[in-house]
Structure 1
């Protein structure tokens, strides 16, 4: 069997169990693919020795008949996850040389299930960005190109390295994290599937924090079925994370029946943004038609506080970031600035943070510190928290009226070129999250599914938003869209 790196998790799982391939062969295929893809700049710390050692152990488990679903499956890990003995920098200069002595809960669960680590993946620094242009490692590059145009495109952010690696078949799947759309937006930009689970479904322990009340890890995969398989392993209660929910983890894959007859799918009128490209409008209408054809009822709904979501998010997220990033001070670990004669501890803090943090992180830390300061706490932070409550209530009201899932576009456009928005007002970049931040503010599950191509041959995605803890039902609706859209496009190899 050739091109093993192009397999889905489900295909590889079945082939491994039938002994048609070995985990070592599968790992070697992905290691080779990753070695030949440096132009994409997605693997920032490769771990081929670990991969082959884990693959050999997986083969032994497979032979013994003790093989969980992910046994022998090669994965890429976003650089935000702490991995024991392997550099974990959150794509920041301030964590240069940091090798944790512990494993994040999620990666430990993956290794316990027999998964194989190919290495750490590029991302926006501390997950702050929508284009993977704030990384200390340099930009991650999308494997996609516009028709007849050689411009390097963004794979989205912050999980851009994960999205690009999966789309380019360098790994079978990858971990991502989503604070305001950082799984779903890159998934939509690169033609893959990405799910942000309900807040508390997956442990945050050992994942470098950006905004603790918004961050949630999830899988980035080639298909909806793969997302269901991987999410099952990543989920579960963790006593080390006080926000982790002590709920049983259902068999998400078993819930992919493809039957959505009688389900009510909401179409929020507030997501019809002024100036939305006609291609996105058409994709949205086509998605609704696909679900209607499958027997679902399409219902217009209102989420009246949507217009306040982006401003509220860009108060709450930087506020939490400024608090979380206070620990990077040059005292305990990571980068420490060289000090001049007479410099004290204050100068050490200032110089270390000025050198270690990139401009976008500095911008958000300053915004966050400002909105938390004594004179502005009530005017900005408390007001944003009240808006967040109203946004959450909008969704609760919709679900109380019998809505089973909500269909929206995933992004306001297809992927843009690297550097094309670099000189723009930062707010223009922040607008990339316009359809996704509400889901984080409300703590709901959301999934992006590839559903078509734009006129330049680039992927476009649809987003589905579900009820809390109903990832299985949500993935089933996504499974229907995936089947109806028949998206099988892959980027032509140029790297």
Structure 2
């Protein structure tokens, strides 16, 4: 795989020193700065794409070998040149004009890249169409730069898996400590943005797969309200929780990407329309007057993390936030088992539907995938098995009463009796908690060592969740989670942006 990347990159690259006609520092640019430089004729999209291609080769492939970007779009430079020509003639085609974006390798694109879910079974799966969200990105002027590694099958194959490992692409590495986990399942997206291998990345989340790798890699991640971003063309786990989400180094860039991704797809059952102008919520002073609940029963699993979180509470209060302490969930035990039951049922149904529309020589069902993995155990099951696949295969149809009862319980316990209840009881604007603990050591034998996380309530309910850099524990980034009710992204953006700008916690990894 790494040879594949190197060959393509060698055909497309300039050197880092020759990527621009100027001596401008390209490191950790933002969308706004790129567009200002384009306006001042200091930078072209072609130069920017060349910079990232060179950096991917130097940092991701030849240097620390982060193994984050696993496929490159061989048409990226050509598209950059086309966009530069358009810009000279008529200006930007959209808000992401000329901006390189990476896609998690479970999102359909027709840019000559397979959509693999990290599995050898889908190594030659070339989609017929762009996912709806990919078309949205292209309409906004973005350039699909490549695809990123993930926890295989979005971490829904084994109960003892290692985040960021896939049979096809191998293990992605945390840029802050190469021996620690990048979390997942959007592992490569988190690593790539942290290491400045692109400006923006798109991850996907069922429960924590955007927010956890964002927090652990020291970047911003947004898990939006379910249905506001189309699920078309994304290899599914569960339609009642799956969503794509933006990952970026700043709140502003994450919100710009969210704005480009959000659109109603009439073919996506359950699509939601929102009139929220996300960008208008990027304003200083957004914390002042907000009633902020502290979910203390979503912490307490790491003493040093808790200390960093206490400082975050103090910072929010200093910025005018009204802290309402100990606004705890009372039914966390109820939703966990129900959620897993729902995911097993919906995974089987959704994956079978997705695979049915793939090309020749691709397994056409979950049962066929299980057989493929058994036949290719030397590549696919080196470290862990496929217990979750087998549990899902044993489930029946979505008409089963057991599924319907589990879905009702999961939604009720996280919506009416969960987030909505806390917001109403304490008259809150949002709830906060540590996103997850600092990164643990990568362990292919025993799997991930999660201590705790704040993702499930927002994930199961389908409500929005933003994580922003909160500080460090032993040099490893940790994140602050903010979540609220349905379609309340605006409030979360206001607090996240104001908190980010007042603290500026994020530091680049020393690669």
Same fold (TM over 0.5): yes
Match of 2:501 among 474, 479, 483: 483
Match of 1:237 among 264, 283, 286: 264
Pairs within 5 Å for 1:284-295: 284-295=309-320
Q: Cα deviation per residue 1:446-494 (whole Å; 9 max; x = unaligned)?
A: 011111111x21111110002211212211111122123321311111x
Contact 1:391 / 1:442 at 8 angstroms: preserved in 2? yes
Contact 2:367 / 2:393 at 8 angstroms: preserved in 1? no
Offset at residue 356 of structure 1 (A): 6.8
Match of residue 62 from structure 1: 87
User: Is 1:138 equivalent to 2:188 in the alignment?
Assistant: no
Match of 1:53 among 65, 78, 88: 78
Q: Which runs of 5+ in 1 are unaligned?
A: 146-150, 338-344
Offset at residue 214 of structure 1 (A): 0.7
Offset at residue 212 of structure 1 (A): 1.2
Q: Cα deviation per residue 1:227-255 (whole Å; 9 max; x = unaligned)?
A: 11111001011112122112335142554
TM-score, normalised to structure 1, is 0.88
Q: Which runs of 5+ in 2 are unaligned?
A: 1-22, 157-161
Aligned with 2:267: secondary structure? coil
Distance 1:91 1:295, change over 3 A: same
Contact 1:128 / 1:361 at 8 angstroms: preserved in 2? no
CA distance in 2, matches of 1:56, 1:116: 11
Match of residue 417 from structure 1: 441
Contact 1:319 / 1:365 at 8 angstroms: preserved in 2? no
CA distance in 1, matches of 2:452, 2:225: 18
Pairs within 5 Å for 1:210-249: 210-249=237-276
Contact 2:410 / 2:460 at 8 angstroms: preserved in 1? no
Bigger CA drift: 87-96 or 175-184? Answer: 87-96
Distance 1:142 1:335, change over 3 A: farther
CA distance in 1, matches of 2:369, 2:201: 35
Distance 1:110 1:433, change over 3 A: farther
Offset at residue 403 of structure 1 (A): 0.7
Aligned with 1:6: secondary structure? coil
Match of 1:263 among 287, 290, 308: 290
User: Is 1:125 equivalent to 2:152 in the alignment?
Assistant: yes
Pairs within 5 Å for 1:72-471: 72-84=98-110, 85-128=112-155, 131-145=163-177, 152-273=179-300, 276-300=301-325, 301-327=327-353, 333=359, 335=361, 351-352=371-372, 354-355=374-375, 358=380, 362-370=386-394, 372=396, 382-383=405-406, 385-393=408-416, 394-401=418-425, 402-411=427-436, 413-419=437-443, 422-424=444-446, 429=449, 431=450, 434-454=453-473, 456-471=474-489
- For the aligned residue pairs, the C-alpha RMSD in angstroms reads 2.7
CA distance in 1, matches of 2:407, 2:239: 16
Contact 2:205 / 2:242 at 8 angstroms: preserved in 1? yes
Q: Cα deviation per residue 1:66-100 (whole Å; 9 max; x = unaligned)?
A: 34221011111111110013211111122120111
CA distance in 2, matches of 1:21, 1:350: 49
CA distance in 1, matches of 2:212, 2:367: 39
CA distance in 2, matches of 1:75, 1:387: 34
Q: Cα deviation per residue 1:7-42 (whole Å; 9 max; x = unaligned)?
A: 122221222233221111111101110112211111
